[in-house]
Amino acid sequence: MLEINDLSLAVPMQQASVPAVSHVSISMKPGRVMGLVGESGCGKTLTAQSILRLGEHQGITKISGDIQLHGESIFSMSEKQLRKVRGRKIAMIFQEPMTALNPVFSIGSQILEVIGLHLDLSRKDAKLHAIQLLEDVGLQDVEHLLQQYPDALSGGMRQRVLIAMAMSANPDYIIADEPTTALDVSVQKRIIALLRKLQKDKGLGMLLVTHDFGLVAEMCDDVVVMYAGEVVESGAVMDIFDHPAHPYTQALMGCRPEAAQDGQALTVIEGQVPAPGEWPQGCRFAARCPYADADCQQAVVADAWQHGEHIARCVHVRMQEEGQANDGADTAC
């Protein structure tokens, strides 16, 4: 299990550190794909990167909470222990296949470097392993590819190389941050199929960070929706698509062009995500929410609305459902 428990993070601003992620809990299980969804600036990437403690050199600090891999706290690990987790237990796939590869080294030397870091193999075995990895991600003429440089590869091929690198030490978990956004539609579809196949075959746990509900529909088993640094809704993918509970999730899904009626204007969410440091006291979405009223001025607990595994940080879901006032779920958290 990979568990984020009640995690709060702060980012450095001009003078002081400002909280940017608050009380986020996400648990990832082997063999399941968890989608982390929200607009830019909601703290998705911060949360995902904190799993490998990647933001620390930028001054991102943990305020409270913990992240545990197989019961062991990531934050109590030494740099040396952490290196054994990064890539070997938990690997990461980034958004930009164009910039994630070093242009002055050949594909072969870059993938062999990763293999050398994680596995104790002879030169010959390492090369065989590299060839196997590249073939597993559907690349052809691999011997030749090893000698090529990133500029000779298309975006889709580069993303495949990066996926191969992520798979090199046979990790238990993969964190993929917008793995298909920079690619053409048809290439996207193929990369999605590849990720799904690898995930299934190897029983990987995956955290998929995206703002694209299409990708969520394609890949995820469970979904967590973040808004302004906190989780506002989580549940199984079917529940989220069929009965989105939080007004933010509903609005986000309603913005998609395919949700619009013919010839009608698209639904928009007026205003923008409040920046860290400008979060309101109560519900953080209240200023943009059509259902907001006085009840939303007080802090709302994460499971203000709950239906089995499906929970939402909103005091008005039941009201929407039954047309009744909600009872006593608005105690401070």
- Contact positions toward other proteins, by CB under 8 A? 39-40, 155, 184-189, 193, 196-197, 200, 211-218, 220, 237-238, 241, 251-252, 255-258, 260, 265-269, 272
**Residue 261 Cβ vs other proteins, minimum distance, rounded to whole Å:** 10
User: What are the E-state strand segments in 163-279?
Assistant: 173-177, 205-210, 222-227, 230-236
Q: Which two tokens stand for residue 243?
A: 């009965």
Q: CA–CA separation, 289 vs 292, rounded Å?
A: 5
Q: Are 237 and 216 in contact (CB under 8 A)?
A: yes
What distance lies between CA 128 and its chain's CA centroid? 32
Q: Judged by CB, which is closer to other proteins: 67, or 208?
A: 208
* Torsion angle, alpha carbons of 95, 53, 193, 235, to 10: -110
Say how many CA atoms lie within 13 Å of 288 toward its Cβ. 20
> What is the chain's Cα-based Rg?
21
**Residue 38 Cβ vs other proteins, minimum distance, rounded to whole Å:** 9
**Residue 197 Cβ vs other proteins, minimum distance, rounded to whole Å:** 6
Q: CA–CA separation, 207 vs 69, rounded Å?
A: 14
- Strands 173-177 vs 90-93: parallel, antiparallel or unpaired: parallel
**Residue 225 Cβ vs other proteins, minimum distance, rounded to whole Å:** 13
Q: Which two tokens stand for residue 327?
A: 């009872």
Q: Which two tokens stand for residue 188?
A: 């996207």
315 secondary structure, DSSP code: T
Q: Judged by CB, which is closer to other proteins: 71, or 257?
A: 257
Q: Judged by CB, which is closer to other proteins: 211, or 307?
A: 211
**Residue 215 Cβ vs other proteins, minimum distance, rounded to whole Å:** 7
**Residue 105 Cβ vs other proteins, minimum distance, rounded to whole Å:** 19
| Backbone region of residue 138 per phi and psi (left: phi > 0; alpha: psi in -120 to 50; beta: other values) | left
Q: Judged by CB, which is closer to other proteins: 40, or 76?
A: 40
Q: Judged by CB, which is closer to other proteins: 29, or 190?
A: 190
**Residue 226 Cβ vs other proteins, minimum distance, rounded to whole Å:** 13
316 secondary structure, DSSP code: T
**Residue 155 Cβ vs other proteins, minimum distance, rounded to whole Å:** 8
Q: Judged by CB, which is closer to other proteins: 151, or 293?
A: 151
Q: Judged by CB, which is closer to other proteins: 111, or 208?
A: 208
Q: Judged by CB, which is closer to other proteins: 42, or 317?
A: 42
Q: CA–CA separation, 5 vs 67, rounded Å?
A: 6
Name every residue whose Cβ is closer than 8 Å to that of residue 22 and which is 6 or more positions away in sequence. Answer: 8, 229, 230
